[in-house]
Structure 1
Amino acid sequence: MRVIIAEDQAMLRGALSALLDLEDDIEVVGQAGDGQQALQLIMQERPDLCLLDIEMPLLSGLDVAEKVKELQLDCRVVILTTFSRAGYFQRAIRAGARGFLLKDSPIEELGAALRTVHAGGRAVSPELALTFWEEENPLTEREREVLKLAAEGLSAGEIAKSLFLSAGTVRNYLSEAMQKLEAKNRIEAIGIAQKKGWLG
């Protein structure tokens, strides 16, 4: 199976590539240091699988997964992460990712997961699975949008203009979000939602 690895830490990327290349049935056909490069490589090389880190410059691994789905590229996505955030997992599944693994998984586990995904199955690190199913994102899409813009430092008035809503409606969304997240104020609500990966 032909694999592309996208990871912004050069040392980890090189180590993963070298270790996977030792497997008889796995060939690493490209390496990328950012999401934009990863997407270009996927379109150019047409690999069977791509192994994507979440946190990358230009495009995150989740952005790339969404693009792969949107462009209907015939490449199965496996997300590699250090984060056990439920929101990331839910977004990855929506984007069609077939695997969600921890970066510190043993290489045998990674190889086995890639084979499972290549054969049409799914693979999730057991340590991650529990946290993911426990917490469902309580925020609606609109509440997420409003919180996301608030996190960028926009005032209620500016958010209202940006989303074509009234300032009162925006304040209602913020208040709903704070209530659902049991936060005392919008700053705390943003912090909780970001920590859980619920702002996407």
Structure 2
Amino acid sequence: MIKVMLADDQLLIRQAFAALLNLEHDLEVVGQASDGTEAVRLAAETKPDVIVMDIQMPEPSGTGDGISATARIVAADPRIRVIIVTTFGRPGYLRRAMEAGAVGYMVKDAPADQLIEGIRRVHRGLRVVDPTLAAASLSVGSSPLTERETEVLSAAARGGATSAIAATVFLSEGTVRNHLSSAMGKLGAGTRAEAVRIATENGWLT
């Protein structure tokens, strides 16, 4: 029997997945988590073989997203196999998920039988990745941003005024503005928020 844990902030989706998987003779849902923090705790308690993990799960501390949870779970127990199943079919998310230790990445509009077979495949030690996303991820290429630009843009992604960003990265406000302007130019972004979005979708921000 393959023990499966589900992590998704939408109760209806978790329950639908659980009902679907429990119909299979070789699958058993052993736990359900509503955010990444709960997923880490539940994974340690239930010791699942496979976790079906959503990416964006709002949580007060800001550390409950699926990718950071995947990294923590795999670091604690490398035997656990994580499949990211999400509505966000973006190459950048795929790249970050794989870097965090996920062995599968599927979109939620995939047929149910593909998800079920994907769980079985990763349990056998294989990888399961949406082929269209895999091809798109390879075409994205490496980040055009410097290390400093990436650091400043990551700080900007967390919100706050330029002064707050400067304090976070230990740079002057003028230097921060210069790095943000340079990053926006390289990414073809009209605003700071757009630069953050582009960099995130391409997997250049963590």
Equivalent pairs, count: 200
Shift of 1:196: 4.3
State the match for 1:4 in structure 2. 5
Q: 1:114 aligns with which of 107, 119, 127?
A: 119
Indicate if the aligned counterparts of 2:3 and 2:49 stay in contact, CA closer than 8 A.
Answer: yes
Shift of 1:152: 3.9
Indicate if the aligned counterparts of 2:91 and 2:140 stay in contact, CA closer than 8 A.
Answer: yes
Name the SS for the 1:5 alignment partner.
strand
State the match for 2:51 in structure 1. 50
Deviations 1:123-178 (Å, cap 9, x if unpaired)? 01223223222213523453233113224443444322211223344234223312
Name the SS for the 1:64 alignment partner.
helix
Indicate if the aligned counterparts of 2:94 and 2:133 stay in contact, CA closer than 8 A.
Answer: no
Indicate if the aligned counterparts of 1:100 and 1:124 stay in contact, CA closer than 8 A.
Answer: yes
Shift of 1:24: 1.5
Task: Supply the distance in 2 between the matched residues of 1:195 and 1:92 (Cα, whole angstroms).
Answer: 12
TM-score normalised by structure 2 residue count: 0.86
Q: What amino acid sits opposite 2:114 in the alignment?
A: E
Deviations 1:93-140 (Å, cap 9, x if unpaired)? 111100000112111101111111111110012232232222135234
Shift of 1:45: 0.5
Q: 1:14 to 1:94 in 2, by over 3 A?
A: same
RMSD: 2.1
State the match for 2:148 in structure 1. 142
State the match for 1:179 in structure 2. 185
Task: Supply the distance in 2 between the matched residues of 1:61 and 1:194 (Cα, whole angstroms).
Answer: 15
State the match for 1:83 in structure 2. 88
Instruction: Calculate percent identity across the aligned residue pairs.
Output: 47
Indicate if the aligned counterparts of 2:91 and 2:134 stay in contact, CA closer than 8 A.
Answer: no
Q: 1:161 aligns with which of 150, 153, 167?
A: 167
Which runs of no fewer than 5 residues in structure 1 stay unpaired?
none
Name the SS for the 2:94 alignment partner.
helix
Q: 1:115 to 1:140 in 2, by over 3 A?
A: farther
Q: What amino acid sits opposite 2:66 in the alignment?
A: G
Higher alpha-carbon deviation: 181-190 or 9-18: 181-190
Shift of 1:181: 0.2
Q: Extract structure 1 runs of 4+ deviating beyond 6 A.
A: none
Task: Supply the distance in 1 between the matched residues of 2:180 and 2:121 (Cα, whole angstroms).
Answer: 42
Task: Supply the distance in 1 between the matched residues of 2:124 and 2:27 (Cα, whole angstroms).
Answer: 13
Q: 1:182 to 1:56 in 2, by over 3 A?
A: same
Deviations 1:23-77 (Å, cap 9, x if unpaired)? 1111111111222221111000111111101111220111110111332453111
